[in-house]
Structure 1
Amino acid sequence: MTSTPLAAVTGAEGFIGSHLVEALVAAGHRVRAMAQYNSFSSYGWLETLSEEVLAEVEIVLGDVRDPGSVRGFAEGADCVYHLAALIAIPYSYRAPHSYVDTNVTGTLNVLEAVRALDTPRLVHTSTSETYGTAQTVPITEDHPIHTQSPYAASKAGGDRLADSYHASFGTPVVTLRPFNTFGPRQSMRAVIPTVIGQLAAGERVITLGDLRPTRDFTYVEDTARAFLAVGTADAGQVVGRTFNAGTGGEISVGDLVALIGKVTGTEVEVREDAERVRPAASEVMRLVADATRLRETTGWAPAHDLERGLARTAEFFQDPANLARYKTGIYNV
């Protein structure tokens, strides 16, 4: 008789992390969830999960920037899912040292813990931003890395550390590189919550940055399933490899706004705000995924198209209790 596997998730209190916790519990895992230490004893979005889910979750306040905190957290885990990161691109222009501390040194601490504890698997989280503007499309895992923001550079640094630990020490790490994930619980720093949140708050003139860039949007439940897929697949198929997770479709920000208007039945006018526009050389103009490797290796495929995912996201933000958690009237950096 085998014991129930224990999955340890850093960044579990966040947008994707909280959905991954739900997916892991639904798949029969026990979960140890790290939420960043804070004096309010806040567990972030974990506090909104059902009692049935939380009955299978041990919540630990910690910090990936501290080696001892990470080592204790990873003890006994069958798989560590490392999602903790600073992710807002605009804030990375203001506080790049913080991004290196969390995204590079934090990843180093997780790798060291997994190495010391002989953890059977580590799933490391990358980002499509490490590719920069697409040089060829769709973007495969062999596309050149071209970091156009301090955020992207810090994530690429973590990726290279993960690769080096596998090569140097045989650390059983697999890297998942999600493209733009969206859905309930996402912060207002992302474009879809920015638009839907402003509409839900009664605005009809939406303030945004550049409308030209295109993105490949994946619904959050599908991204969570991608993490589970690489975390549970046969080691020989995934360890030491990087996998894109995306739909293979792309849409411009301008067309996205129009689609959101259609889904919500709202007439939308857009006003450009110079504060929200990235520096010209830093803007990633086109991202679209080739997820063939993930699909052929694990069988993963997205279950939601963009319009269906937007409808579910709109339902979340239109709930007054959910909307009250957000500041829709400011630029959330």
Structure 2
Amino acid sequence: MRIAVTGADGFIGSHLVEGLVRSGADVVALAQYNSTGAWGWLEDLPADVLDSVRVVLGDLRDAEVIGQALASAEVVYHLGALIAVPYSFHAPRSYVETNVLGTQNVLDAIRRHGGRLVHTSTSEVYGSAVTVPIAEDHPLQAQSPYAATKIAADKLVESYVAAFDVHAVTIRPFNTFGPRQSARAFIPTVMSQAMTGRTSLSLGSLAPRRDLMFVGDTVAAFQAVGALAADRWNGATLNAGTGTSWPMSRVVDEIARVVGVDLDVVADPSRVRPAAAEVQHLECDSTRLRNATGWQPRVTLREGLETTRDWMADSRRLLSYKPDLYQL
């Protein structure tokens, strides 16, 4: 099968590309254009996998480039987006241009050339939980510019299904972690500080609860959604998560055990979201996805943290996280 992946150079995207290649797919990987020709986390893939991938550098905001890159794909996994919540407070326009207009460009390419879309949403669109666990009919609440742009992108997909008969299904992952996650995320922030000898950590709020799923389980969910019957599931949204939420304070304790150090936390006000913007509780109800595909998460938090620790132990990787800096 000919498959295209936007955001292929990112955290989840690079793992998805690897999983698709190993399943026998012919993959076109769309990565963000840059003047050095770097392929992001795709360069971390094993040589035998990367040799089987056609990498295209471009920009989601460029409709012509997107149209050319997706023209021959039977399935398009759309993961390309700006995703850091704190940075969306500083640069909301760039989130609109990439996440909303970029998604429109992907939809227009599929409308023009055909194929099926697996669109990536996020649990951030739910905001702080009104009911727990969170099912797909939970109210959508934009507590950050990032969440607002993802809601807009989700609604664009919904509208193209209704108005233009585009074939699409939306997957809504909760909080994925694992190797290759960016430095702006909580687990790499804590782990990189702990693994470089710091026992006093600079962190934001530890009260929020998150449903944390290992990236291998997230990739399996993406592939399961991609295999769904196009007609029966056209326009559907499916949550992907473990169904268990962890307070961030407990996650710090788990990381300390995995790394083998004692950690003290120092509150850093610059890392705390505005009070009304903080999503306090995310816990997934993935019943729809499990019933539709038989998918279920298999990796525990402890196992996932150990795998992440082992991957990060490479000194080159560890120092690339710049643990002394707060990454937006």
Q: TM-score interval w.r.t. the shorter chain?
A: over 0.9
- Tell me, in whole angstroms, the C-alpha distance in 1 between the residues paired with 2:114 and 2:41: 30
Contact 2:128–2:279 (Cα < 8 Å) also in 1: yes
Over the residues paired in the alignment, what is the CA RMSD in angstroms? 0.8
Aligned twin of 2:27 = 31
1:171 maps to 166
Name the counterpart of 2:284.
289
Matched residue, 1:308: 303
1:327 aligns with 2:322: yes
Q: Alignment partner of 1:324: what SS?
A: helix
Choose from 97, 117, 142 the match for 2:113: 117
1:13 lines up with 2:9 in the alignment: yes
Q: Shift of residue 289 of structure 1?
A: 0.2
For 1:85 and 1:307, locate their aligned partners in 2 and report how far apart those are by CA, in whole Å.
28
* Deviation larger for 312-321 or 102-111: 312-321
Contact (CA 8 Å) 1:237, 1:297: kept in 2 or not?
no
1:127-206 matches, within 5 Å, as 127-206=122-201
Report the alpha carbon displacement of residue 261 of structure 1 after superposing the two structures with TM.
0.8
In the alignment, the residues of structure 2 paired with residue 260 and residue 324 of structure 1 have an alpha-carbon distance, to the nearest angstrom, of 18
Deviations 1:248-274 (A, max 9, x none): 000100111011111222101111100
Instruction: Tell me if structure 1 keeps the 8 A contact 2:61–2:101.
Output: yes
Instruction: Normalising by structure 1, report the TM-score.
Output: 0.97
Contact 1:88–1:189, Cα closer than 8 Å, also in 2: yes
Structure 2 unaligned residues grouped into runs of 5+: none
Residue in structure 2 matching 1:240, options 225, 235, 238: 235
* Contact 1:130-1:153 at 8 Å conserved across structures: yes
Q: Which residue pairs with 1:84 in the alignment?
A: 80
* Equivalent of 1:258 in 236, 245, 253: 253
User: Is this contact kept in 1: 2:203–2:271, CA < 8 A?
Assistant: yes
- Alpha-carbon offset, residue 275 of structure 1: 0.1
Is 2:103 the counterpart of 1:107?
A: yes
Gaps of 5+ in 1: none
Q: Provide the rounded CA distance (Å) in 1 between the counterparts of 2:254 and 2:37.
A: 39
1:264/1:237 CA distance change after superposition, 3 Å: farther
Distance (whole Å) between structure 1 residues aligned to residue 97 and residue 118 of structure 2: 19
TM-score, length basis structure 2: 0.99
- What count of residue pairs does the alignment treat as equivalent? 328
| Higher deviation after alignment, 310-319 or 240-249 | 310-319
Shift, 1:321, TM fit:
2.4
1:132-174 CA distance string (max 9 Å, x none): 0000000000000001000000010000000000011111010
Aligned to 1:276: 271
